[in-house]
Amino acid sequence: MTVESVKPETPPAVELREPPRAGGGVPVLGHGWKLARDPLAFMSRLRDHGEVVRLKLGPKTVYAVTTPALTGALALSNDFIIAGPLWESLEGLLGKEGVATANGPRHRRQRRTIQPAFRLDAIPAYGPIMEEEAHALTERWKPGETIDCTSESFRVAVRVAARCLLRGEYMDERAERLCVALATVFRGMYRRMVVPLGPLYNLPLPANREFNRALADLHLLVDEIVAERRASGQKPDDLLTALLEAKDDNGDPIGEQEIHDQVVAILTPGSETIASTIMWLLHMLAEHPEHADRVRDEVQAVTGGRPVAFEDVRGLRHTNNVVVECIRLRPAVWILTRRAVRDTELGGYRIPSGADIIYSPFAIQRDPKSYERNLEFDPDRWLPDRVKDIPKHAMSPFSVGNRKCPSDHFSMAMLTLITAALATRYRFEQVAGSKDDARVGITLRPHDLLVRPVAR
């Protein structure tokens, strides 16, 4: 017998498993009623059933992924695209032609258009605007008065986005409209995602009429922004100009609907997530004064007592860790979905083509298997000697791979600067009537947070 005649053995085929099904479903609604009633607790308990778990949302079977490793594999695999219940519910807001919902070549082209605005070397140019808005926030508030954190957080989030990316001077009134409308729209979209009752949402019921009015106002707001820029004839070096001059794959100007959808993606989900995070940061400053004091002390050590500036952000390590820990415990984006484009596997489980996958960054980032004292607010867990113990993908607030949020550095710089400015100027206390429980919609924010600034 020669060596050449010996054929290597074919490894046995790995038999893929069927994911276990979560219990507790009810007729017609499936598990949607639990997702509607107590979604955070429901998603947090799914890991007890397995790494991949089957759910029923109405008539549809959905696969829930519960571990950091598999959510990372999901985000990095070409077998899954942006689609599923979340994105279907968001289509009325985001449309089908914006970077948030596009896939394949369209998504790659759109990323190329918007990416220059968020390059690391582009962000310092936004520094003066971020500084101005952060300090204007502290100047606008008066010691002892009650602050409505929802409206104030939206105000600064929209102003920074509009001034940095759209170069607009049409902020305050529209920020208030955006705040009111998004609260209604995101709650309605969440209901449509977890309880997909189809035509029933077209009935002229009060909740449906309120939802439709809010959605219409959001789109009107975006149309006003684009129309004003066109009428002005101005072409500042900003993201809106880049969109208005962008070309499609044939070298023709992109369509009006794509421009509209791109501005929606810049102004609405971006402002909602940043505003929600600012609200949670204000809650943290009130609930953990010891960390607020550490932020104040760090800022003073770095600045020598002058007002904090954008150039100081890199040196504000504890302040940055406070922001990261706040995002870990209270992520604005708490639920995400994908769709399988072919028969595939995930963690040894069979995933059929066309299947929808759902996972919760909220549950992943609070998992006791990944974090020691998982529910404790502990910014020092992000120090270099401790962060190495946190599993990969257990903290990915801006996602990974080709769907990573392009504004991650922009957002972190803004949030760190605002936290530094607020904690240096004030201590915060919650006041009577404040509701700091989580309001769950497509995003997560405090229900009605009210605080009182106390001068330091």
Q: What is the DSSP string of 204-246?
A: --HHHHHHHHHHHHHHHHHHHHHHHHHHHT---SSHHHHHHT-
Q: Give the start-to-end residue ranges of the domains of the chain.
A: 14-96+334-396, 98-304+423-456
Which carries the bigger pLDDT value, residue 285 or residue 60?
285
Q: Are 154 and 275 in contact (CB under 8 A)?
A: yes
Determine the angle formed by the axes of helices 408-425 and 289-303, rounding to 10 degrees. 100
SS3 345: strand
Q: Domain 98-304+423-456 has what CATH class?
A: mainly alpha
pLDDT in tens, 81-123: 988 777 777 776 777 666 677 778 887 888 888 888 888 888 9
CA angle 317, 321, 324 (to 5 degrees): 140
Q: Which two tokens stand for residue 453?
A: 């600034």
The reply to whether 98-304+423-456 shares the fold of 14-96+334-396 is yes
Q: 14-96+334-396 is classed in which CATH architecture?
A: Orthogonal Bundle (1.10)
Q: Are 157 and 279 in contact (CB under 8 A)?
A: no
- Proportion of the chain above pLDDT 70, given as a percent: 94
Question: At residue 154, does pLDDT exceed 70?
Answer: yes
The alpha helices in 95-141, defined as continuous H runs, are 104-114, 127-140
**Tens of pLDDT along 245-296?**
888 888 888 888 888 888 887 777 788 899 999 999 999 999 999 999 999 9
Residue 3 pLDDT > 50: no
Residue 152: helix, strand or coil by DSSP? helix
pTM: 0.87
Pick the more confident residue, 104 or 150.
150
